[in-house]
Amino acid sequence: MRKITRGTAALALGAALAASAAGQAPGAPQPGQPPAGGVPVPAVAPKPEPRPTGTAATVNGQAIPEVAVYRALRNFPAEHRDMARKEIMAHLIENVLIDQYLAAIKVAIDEKDVDKLIGELKTELTTAKKDYVKELEAMMLTEAEFRTEVAAQMRWEKFVKDQGTDAALKQLFETSPDVFDGTMVRARHVLLTPGADEAKQKEAVQKLKGIKQVVEQEAAKAVAALPPAADALAKEQARAAKTDELFAAYAKEYSACPSKKDGGDLSYFPRAGAMVEGFAKAAYALKPFEMSDVVVTEFGHHLILVTARKQGVAKKFDEVKEDVRMLYAMRLREAVVAQMKPKAQITMTPTPAAAPPAPPKK
Quick: pLDDT tens for 96-138: 999 999 999 999 999 999 999 999 999 999 999 999 999 999 8
DSSP states of 8-28:
-HHHHHHHHHHHHHH-SPTTP
| Gap between the Cα atoms of 87 and 67, Å rounded | 15
| Gap between the Cα atoms of 69 and 232, Å rounded | 53
Query: Domain spans of the chain?
Result: 183-310
177 or 186: which carries more pLDDT confidence?
Answer: 186
Half-sphere exposure at residue 327, Cβ-oriented, CA atoms within 13 angstroms:
25
Residue range 342-348: mean pLDDT, rounded: 95
Between strands 55-59 and 184-192, the pairing is unpaired
87: confidence class by pLDDT, cuts 50, 70, 90 = confident
Identify the pLDDT of residue 133: 92
Interval 307-335: pLDDT, tens:
999 999 989 999 999 999 999 998 999 99
What sign results for the dihedral spanned by CA atoms 59, 64, 69, 71? negative
Identify the pLDDT of residue 1: 52
**16 has a pLDDT exceeding 90:** no
Identify the pLDDT of residue 6: 39
Residue range 287-296: mean pLDDT, rounded: 97
Secondary structure of residue 72 in the 3-state scheme: helix
The percent of residues in the chain predicted with pLDDT above 70, rounded, is: 84
The percent of residues in the chain predicted with pLDDT above 90, rounded, is: 68
| Choice among 111-120, 175-184, 216-225, 296-305 with the minimum mean pLDDT | 175-184
Strands (E), 276-321: 295-297, 300-310
Amino acid at the residue 329: A
Interval 34-82: pLDDT, tens:
333 343 333 444 566 788 999 999 999 999 999 999 999 988 888 888 8
Secondary structure of residue 291 in the 3-state scheme: strand
Let me know how many helices (H) and strands (E) the chain has, helices first: 12, 7
CATH number of 183-310: 3.10.50.40
278 or 304: which carries more pLDDT confidence?
Answer: 304
Cα 52 to the center of its chain, rounded Å: 23
DSSP 117: H
| Gap between the Cα atoms of 96 and 29, Å rounded | 42
Identify the pLDDT of residue 111: 94
Identify the pLDDT of residue 273: 79
Q: What is the maximal distance between C-alpha atoms in the chain?
A: 78
273 or 45: which carries more pLDDT confidence?
Answer: 273
Mean pLDDT across the chain, nearest whole number?
85
| Gap between the Cα atoms of 326 and 333, Å rounded | 11
Identify the pLDDT of residue 31: 34
DSSP states of 89-143:
HHHHHHHHHHHHHHHHTT----HHHHHHHHHHHHHHHHHTT--HHHHHHHTT--H
Identify the pLDDT of residue 356: 44
